[in-house]
Structures are given as C-alpha cells and as structure tokens.
Copies of this chain bind each other. A is one copy, B any other.
Amino acid sequence: MSSDQQISMNKIKISLDAMGGDHGVESVIPGAALALKKKPDIEFLLFGNEISIYRELEKFPDLKKKSIIHHTPHAISATDKPSDALRKGKNSSMRLAIDSVANGQASSVVSGGNTGALMAMAKIVLKVLPGIQRPAIASVIPSEKGRSVMLDLGANISCDSENLAQFAILGSVFARAVMKIERPTVGLLNVGSEQMKGNDVLRAADALLRSVSIPGDYQGFIEGDDITRGTVDVIVTDGFTGNIALKTAEGVGHFFKSIISEEFKRSFFSKIGYLINKCVFTRIKNRMDPREYNGGLFLGLKGICVKSHGGADAYAFSRAILVAANMVEQGFNDTVVREIEGFAEAEASLGISADGVV
C-alpha cells in the first residue's frame, strides 16, 4: 500500500449543514477551517446555498482544497416543526447532509440547525444501530473533576429500564472512545442514592445494571448535585429528567454570570476592581466556556450525527466537528454494536427479558 493510499484511507469525511444555526455559513465555514487546522485529515462535504458557501470559503484556501460544495435549494428554519421538516425538507441542506451519511459519502454529519428536525430526520434516514431500542442525545458537561457525559437529554420523554441500561452502554463507550477514560464510572440519576429510592423503572434499571456487566463501572444511583460534582463519568437518565436538569444548570450558570457582572458594574471602584482581576476572570470564563463542550451527540444511529448549539460561533462549531471526527476515528458505532450484542447475550444467559425482569 502506497503512502498516498494510506493517507486517503485515513481521511474522515464529514458533511456539514452550512445553513444551520443562527450564523449559518459565517460560523460553519470558519469553524470547519479551525477544525481542519487541528485535524488535517478531515474532508468536508458542504451542503447549502453555493453562493454563500463559496463567498465564505474564499477566505480559507486550505479548507477550500478539502471541501466539496453541494448546492441545496432549501434550508430548515428554527421554527419548522419536525413533522413539516420531514415532509417538506427533502431538498434542504440538513436533509441532504444526513442523506450523504446514509449513502456512505460521508461518515458523519454536523448541523447547528433545528434540533427536533435534525433528530427526526437522522432517526428516519440513518436508522438505529442493530440492537439499539432508542437513540439518545448525549452531551459532555464540565464538572469539578473535569468533565462527564450525560444522556438522554431529551430524545425520549419516558424510558423503560432496558432503554436506560442501553444509554449506560452508549455513554460508557463514548467516555472510553472519545474522552479516553479507560474504565468510566456510571451512575443513574435519582432522588437519593439508596437502592429503594425512585420509581419502578429506576429500580429495575439499577438491578439490571448490577447483574449484567457494561463497558463501565456501574456505581448505582446518583443525585442532582453529583452531576457537576463529577461523581461519575457517565450520567444516565431519561430524556425528560435530563432535559430539565441540563436546562436548570444552564439557568443557574446564567444567573451567576449576571449577578457577577451586575455587581462589578455597580460603581467606579468595582469597575476598576474588575480590570485589576481581569486575567482571573478570563481564566474562570475559560474553565466554564460552554463552547468547549458544544455538541449534542445523537447516539445509537447508523452514522455519527452531532448537533451544534444554534448560537455557536466558529470556535464552538469547530469543537462539534472535532467530536464527530473523534467518534468516527475511534470506531464508536462498531464498538457500540459489539457491546450491545454482548449485553443482550449476557441478559439472555441470565434469563433476563428485554424489560429487565428476571
């Protein structure tokens, strides 16, 4: 095998929905350029209005060489309902970018567009991986000990114990492959750590995860404050609870920032005080920077699909691209299929049915 062929085999092809997000091509294209600097073996398929894409691409000659533009006549708007997007969005940049993963042109897709539409399209076009019951939305979140991955964040309003156990596997494989945690710890979000706490679904999921091994160390129930404490590497919950916990955390973050900024703007002296400590505040801001953790990961689909935050700037968008590239490179989906298969076999050998009952 020649060195050229070697390079070509290692290429990671990522499709980008260039029209998605609040800033469209203005964050997508510079974001791709930033990602390319970090990981020169990426090639991009750019879906969207070719004039807009081309105009922006002109500014990044290195990226231009690694990109193919696919003109698309339509774009999904932030207010489109998922059902409408599915029906009417067949020629949209989002849909065609997802299609390119389904037909093997690319290995992953990144979009900053309408979450509901993206999830609905990805689920229908890419389909779930063998053995997976329900795909889940995961996100990497900062914690006192570093970072953790949390799922589901809203794909499934209600879940059974088997769904939760599968999320534990998806999260563990992600923590191992992408976050490089050899033996990730896993916790199930509940209202107390004792085994009798919570509802029937949680207790059944707890029993299931205690009896069948997963690619992480299951530690039992954790509570809301364990999320940012970093008690475990993988936080498992249903999409209802996960969505509310994540948004509550975002709200508290916003509250803290607004109080700090208000108090430091209150007087001439406090403004001076802020300037004196500016480098400390910059360090604090960097540690909490949500851009570092940009990317809602749709796990459990045949193809990698990453949702960038709608308001993402170029840097944040580049982080979402790099997560997608990492997942492809580490063979995330192959590992998931293997682990889900092993789990199902172990369940069967223990005489546990799919709903977790022995």
Give the B-binding residues of A (Cβ under 8 A).
142-144, 154, 157-158, 189, 191, 198-199, 223-229, 239-241, 243-256, 258-260, 263-264, 266, 270, 273-274, 276-277, 280, 283-284, 287-288
Contacts and interface: CB of A to CB of B under 8 A. Distances in A.
A191 to B, nearest CB: 4
11 contacts: A142-B255, A157-B198, A189-B244, A198-B240, A224-B245, A224-B249, A241-B244, A248-B248, A252-B252, A263-B284, A276-B276
B198 A225 contact: no
A288 B252 CA distance: 11
A246 to B, nearest CB: 7
Contacts of A266: 280, 283
A271 to B, nearest CB: 10
B244 A191 contact: yes
Given A154-B191, A273-B276, A280-B264, A255 B144 contact: yes
Contacts of A270: 277, 280
B253 A252 contact: yes
Given A263-B280, A280-B264, A246 B228 contact: no
A144 B259 CA distance: 8
A144 B244 contact: no
Contact of A225 (B189, B224, B254, B287): B254
A191 B280 contact: no
Contacts of A253: 252, 256
A245 B191 CA distance: 10
Nearest to A279: B270
A155 to B, nearest CB: 11
A251 B280 contact: no
A241 to B, nearest CB: 6
A106 to B, nearest CB: 31
Chain A at the B interface: SS class: helix
B263 A273 contact: no
A221 to B, nearest CB: 11
Contacts of A259: 284, 287-288
Contacts of A241: 240-241, 244
Contact of A224 (B223, B228, B248): B248
Contacts of A224: 243-251
Contacts of A198: 157, 240
A253 B259 CA distance: 12
By Cβ-Cβ distance, the 3 closest A-B pairs, closest first, are A224-B247, A225-B251, A224-B248
A211 to B, nearest CB: 24
Contacts of A254: 144, 225, 228-229
Nearest to A260: B284
A94 to B, nearest CB: 20
Given A154-B191, A263-B287, 12 more contacts: A157-B191, A224-B245, A224-B251, A225-B251, A227-B248, A227-B251, A229-B255, A241-B244, A244-B244, A252-B253, A263-B280, A264-B280
A172 B179 CA distance: 46
A143 B273 CA distance: 25
Contact of A228 (B252, B273, B274, B287): B252
A241 B255 CA distance: 20
A197 to B, nearest CB: 8
Contact of A223 (B247, B277, B280): B247
Contacts of A244: 189, 191, 223-224, 241, 244-245
